């Protein structure tokens, strides 16, 4: 799936993807950055409340 996303991205576009585990077969120009402090962690616990508050409006609309 990641190969498809990167193949379909417009030229000179920045593509940001959050995944639990990075694939070993990514294009050479892909930069992998880890931000979690634990394995498979995308969001730090200290940031959860702020992010949850910002996205709660959208999540509620998706659920309803």
Q: What is the tens place of the pLDDT at every residue in 4-44?
A: 887 888 888 888 777 767 666 777 777 777 666 777 677 78
Residue 62 has pLDDT above 80, yes or no: yes
What is the DSSP track for 23-35? -S---TTPPP---
40: left (phi over 0), alpha (psi -120 to 50) or beta: left
The pair of structure tokens assigned to 58 is 């959208």
pLDDT-derived band at 50, boundaries 50, 70, 90: very high
pLDDT-derived band at 61, boundaries 50, 70, 90: confident
Domains of the chain by residue range: 2-63
């Amino acid at each position: 799936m990641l190969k498809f996303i990167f193949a379909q991205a417009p030229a000179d576009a920045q593509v940001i993807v959050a995944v639990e585990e990075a694939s070993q077969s990514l294009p050479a120009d892909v930069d992998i950055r880890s931000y979690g402090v634990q394995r498979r962690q995308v969001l730090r616990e200290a940031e959860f409340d702020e992010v949850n508050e910002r996205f709660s409006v959208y999540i509620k609309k998706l659920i309803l």
